[in-house]
Amino acid sequence: MSSSIRHVRGATDMLRAMAFDLHPCPVMVLDAEGYMLAANEATETLFGRTMGALTRRRFAEALPVDSLLPRIVARAGLDGVTVRERNIEIALPDSPMIEAEVTAAPMPDGRVLLTLNVKTAATGIERTAGTLRSVAGMGRTLAHEIKNPLAGIRGAAQLLGSGSGGGVEDAALAQLIVDETDRIRRLIDRVEAFAEERDPGRRAVNIHRVLDRVRALMSAGTGDDIVFREAFDPSLPHAWGDEDQLIQVFLNLVKNAAEAARSRGDGRGDVSITTSFRQGFRTAPLEIKVQDNGPGVPPDMRDRLFDPFITTKSQGAGLGLTLVAKLVAAQGGLIDFESEPGRTVFRVLLPIVPADAASSSSSSPK
């Protein structure tokens, strides 16, 4: 085969891949066992998950047991024919029902190309925000219903502890009640944070300045047993978000990574932070990775790690990553992770400054 023919075929393959990724509808490739091999940006946005998360389990396991999608895919793969179904109702995790025209086309080796022409859909970011608004409502309810009786219990315990008739044991028990009451109140305060629905007021943010700030804050409380590494792409455009909220996001992620690395117990903990531009990802192309060499996330917790009250820490409340997911969604971004023993990577995808905002900013008087 001549080099010119190979060049043409290589260019054609690249154009096909680009057309796949830029397709406005969710498009995915599934293998004969039902695992997702490839997905475009529209699929990631619809599911509110990056490709790494979508490939962790079979496609059918992400859907209700009575979903028609796996059956349509199986029919196309087994019979070797293109299957088209109109007005299919699809239930996705944490989202209202959507309606789509579904096309499943057979490919070589039992693979199937699945296309969803969605008529009415909430994006992954909107669904995440909806779920977190439910958590916000829970925060308000808990704060209102629990804080008042807690104050009464604490006051009674203080009176009991200061009474003259009680002995040392009574005073100790009274102090225990006060301490536990304060601990519950701190938990409620953390849950109440989800009730804040402040508009993040997005603007141009230098993501490297955010990460430098996080690194400086971590340096004050991190010992010599953790090595921090940074690999920043200096050519990155500015992110579009709230600087304070982004500092909170990455401070939480880096703090978790440092704690996981330290839990090795051998003084060889390692945390790395990298930034890059994700080509072809239009919605949120800025990629920030926080990686540690800790023990990893237990397999039975990986699908629920961003849910409230899920934690790997013995003293943790399980709200840190839920708050991180809320704040990332508020920036219009996505968060995902992959984990195995000795390597855990959290990946945050953020939008860049829109063209209209950049032009108005440059034209405004200084």
- State pLDDT tens for residues 269-315: 999 999 999 876 677 889 999 999 999 988 878 777 777 665 665 55
Residue 230 has pLDDT above 90, yes or no: yes
Most confident of the ranges 30-44, 115-129, 155-169: 30-44
Per DSSP, the residues of 138-168 read HHHHHHHHHHHHHHHHHHHHHHHHH-SS--H
pTM over 0.85: no
Q: How far is CA 8 from CA 2, 17, 212, 325, in A?
A: 10, 14, 45, 43
Q: Which residues of 339-366 are buried (b: 16+ CB within 10 A; e: fewer)?
A: beeeebbbbbbbbbbeeeeeeeeeeeee
The DSSP letter of residue 170 is: H
Residue whose C-alpha is closest to residue 131's, from 343, 325, 348: 325
Residue 183 has pLDDT above 60, yes or no: yes
Lowest average pLDDT, out of 12-16, 44-48, 212-216, 254-258, goes to 12-16
Residue 54 has pLDDT above 60, yes or no: yes
How confident is the model at residue 110, as a pLDDT?
87
C-alpha–C-alpha distance, residues 284 and 225, integer Å: 34
Integer Rg of the chain from CA: 25
Task: Pull the structure tokens for residue 240.
Answer: 């579009």
Contacts of 339 (CB under 8 A, 6+ apart): 296, 297, 302, 345
- Asked if CATH classification 3.40.640.10 holds for the domain at 203-357, the reply, yes or no, is no
H/E stretch holding 291: strand 286-292
Quick: pLDDT tens for 103-148: 999 998 889 999 988 864 444 444 444 555 555 555 555 565 566 6
How confident is the model at residue 135, as a pLDDT?
54
How confident is the model at residue 127, as a pLDDT?
47
Most confident of the ranges 57-61, 95-99, 246-250: 246-250
The CATH code of domain 3-122 reads 3.30.450.20
Kindly indicate the confidence band of residue 365, based on its pLDDT and cuts at 50, 70 and 90: very low
C-alpha–C-alpha distance, residues 239 and 171, integer Å: 55
Kindly indicate the confidence band of residue 152, based on its pLDDT and cuts at 50, 70 and 90: low
The arrangement of strands across the sheet holding 98-106 comes to: 36-39, 27-30, 112-120, 98-106, 83-90
How confident is the model at residue 363, as a pLDDT?
46
Residue 346 has pLDDT above 90, yes or no: yes
Residue 165 has pLDDT above 70, yes or no: no
Contacts of 24 (CB under 8 A, 6+ apart): 42
121 C-beta neighbours (distance < 10 Å), count:
21
Residue whose C-alpha is closest to residue 325's, from 226, 253, 220, 244: 253
How confident is the model at residue 364, as a pLDDT?
46
Lowest average pLDDT, out of 59-63, 251-255, 259-263, goes to 59-63
Contact 305, 296 (CB under 8 A): no
How confident is the model at residue 7, as a pLDDT?
45
Residue 73 has pLDDT above 80, yes or no: yes
Residue whose C-alpha is closest to residue 271's, from 256, 281, 249, 288: 256
How confident is the model at residue 69, as a pLDDT?
87
Residue whose C-alpha is closest to residue 232's, from 260, 212, 252: 212
Residue 187 has pLDDT above 80, yes or no: no
How confident is the model at residue 240, as a pLDDT?
92
Contact 94, 130 (CB under 8 A): yes
The most distant pair of C-alpha atoms in the chain lies apart, rounded to whole Å, by 100
H/E stretch holding 355: helix 355-363
Residue 34 has pLDDT above 90, yes or no: no
Higher pLDDT, 27 or 132: 27
